[in-house]
Structure 1
């Protein structure tokens, strides 16, 4: 039953590879728990699911992680119901314990610009041009790292079929395949266009002989498409070389993009569209980040916000009773 369900979500729902791996892991855990309890999967009662959730929490698993586990179980039992194998979903009313939602970590504007404009004269020009273009797309367009490495140089039937994105320099747009196999288009700013043009000029140079046949926009020296892990490593290296106080990861640049656009425009719906969020509630976390930024500015600048601020001067008027 588990394998049939995994085939269903793989081929019919077209879940991302990473999501499918998590579903597999969580359902194997469900099988193990049911086997230990001496229960067949269709016979698991809601009370038992609650006990398992409590056990996971007691073992140190956080609320968000438990919610992901329960979500995969809930989907599995919903499918069993559609197949006529159960009459009710034992996970339907089970909820994970609430956990505080941490604010996303974003760079300040100056730090983001410092990272984007960093140029190491001792680095290989080919690598420098590629890394600079990647930073401009991550920060300038708010792409996920999976969307970045999935970009092709140009649109093609193969890119459409395999769910990859591409860049359109003529229209100054980048077309990406986001979560849930949803396509979206994001405008390319002037800096991103210039960085991409420089990279494409050098991309087919010495040491990259496979560039003529490789559709990937970003590739390594051996002519293969870059992996997310490679982007993480290069970005970490670049951020430390640029003198930033902490290593930067790709999603931090996506958070920075969202935060800075929201601070400048105040248009939450536009940020939602640019990020490709299905629900506005996902984007609303950046309003908290934006308020935190404003609160810090207030604390630093307003005399009434400072501890031990200047005392009041002049006579004090009596309250009007």
Structure 2
């Protein structure tokens, strides 16, 4: 028989474990803390005083309240995932007899296909407006996003130690602290070399030097990267809003289209689950369907026939 344990104490120990043992990012820890606090806040004081007293209906009531507040299904799913992970920890650490969140599911959400540019748009986008240092840097960022399928956070935190020019490889640590190596394409490598020659710290480059910096040698912020990429796309008359994740989606869909190797795409993207990567098969099918409709002589109905 386990002694009563306050939810606040159980939550604090979970966050400490997630930070020190699992070494999760500050961003993930913030979401965990916020989601668990949201759940605990709607409990009666007597229930909040003992985590062993919590039942499925407590979680279900909370999830319904989130829905009534207008939270999107994806947001509710994330809230539930945070609390589910917390209860799993409590079962191992404090002998919680069951996971009250195990049977609670978020409302179904429509599956949105990621937006990707076609090859012509990519070629149109990846042209520097000028030979200036900032335009050279922006092109190198865009080339690396598309060539390697990097996440925004991976590009923003990139240091020289992670780039192997000789082997044409970049090493990044993505979600879940998972490290992967990705080949750098020839065009992207040339763009990167050109930028490094103009790097503000070119005379004193260290392993810890950020790859993409301001003119003062400070690492670019994620927001600055997004803004500069969109500026590059607008200058090159791309008719859609271009963001780093669109470059990643384009990388994945074009690679799958040319290779058909879903497992390879999974590894290069750093997905832990193949089901996450499978969404790109839908993009690939969309491309095939458009090609069929445009090229096949019997794709369109003949006039006057049903």
Partner residue, 1:184: 180
Greater mean alpha carbon deviation, residues 292-301 or residues 189-198? 292-301
CA distance in 2, matches of 1:181, 1:311: 60
Using the size of structure 1 for normalisation, the TM-score is 0.86
Partner residue, 2:49: 40
> Contact 1:209–1:223 (CA<8 Å) still a contact in 2?
no
Q: Could you list the runs of 5+ residues in structure 1 that have no partner in the other structure?
A: 155-165, 313-321
What's the Cα RMSD here? Answer: 2.1
Matched residue of 2:163: which SS?
strand
> Contact 1:204–1:212 (CA<8 Å) still a contact in 2?
no
Greater mean alpha carbon deviation, residues 214-223 or residues 250-259? 214-223
Matched residue of 1:151: which SS?
coil
Q: CA deviation at 1:273?
A: 1.0
CA distance in 2, matches of 1:72, 1:220: 36
**Which aligned pairs between 1:268-283 and structure 2 lie closer than 5 A?**
268-283=262-277
Q: CA deviation at 1:214?
A: 5.9
**Distance 1:223-1:213 versus aligned 2 partners, 3 A rule:** farther
Matched residue of 1:185: which SS?
strand
- Of 178, 191, 196, which residue of structure 2 is paired with 1:195? 191
CA distance in 1, matches of 2:149, 2:31: 25
Using the size of structure 2 for normalisation, the TM-score is 0.90
CA distance in 1, matches of 2:50, 2:271: 34
CA distance in 2, matches of 1:99, 1:82: 31
Whether 2:31 is the aligned partner of 1:22: answer yes
Q: CA deviation at 1:44?
A: 2.2
CA distance in 1, matches of 2:30, 2:213: 25
**Distance 1:106-1:263 versus aligned 2 partners, 3 A rule:** same
CA distance in 1, matches of 2:69, 2:28: 23
1:76-108 CA-partner distances (Å, limit 9, x unpaired): 112222222532211111111211110001011
Matched residue of 1:174: which SS?
strand
CA distance in 1, matches of 2:96, 2:42: 19
> Contact 1:131–1:234 (CA<8 Å) still a contact in 2?
yes
**Which aligned pairs between 1:1-321 and structure 2 lie closer than 5 A?**
1=9, 2-35=11-44, 39-40=48-49, 42=51, 43-84=53-94, 86-116=96-126, 118-121=127-130, 125-154=132-161, 166-204=162-200, 215-307=209-301, 309=302
1:218-242 CA-partner distances (Å, limit 9, x unpaired): 1112211112111111111111111
Moved over 3 A (4+): 35-41, 208-214
Q: Could you list the runs of 5+ residues in structure 2 that have no partner in the other structure?
A: 1-8
Q: CA deviation at 1:251?
A: 0.4
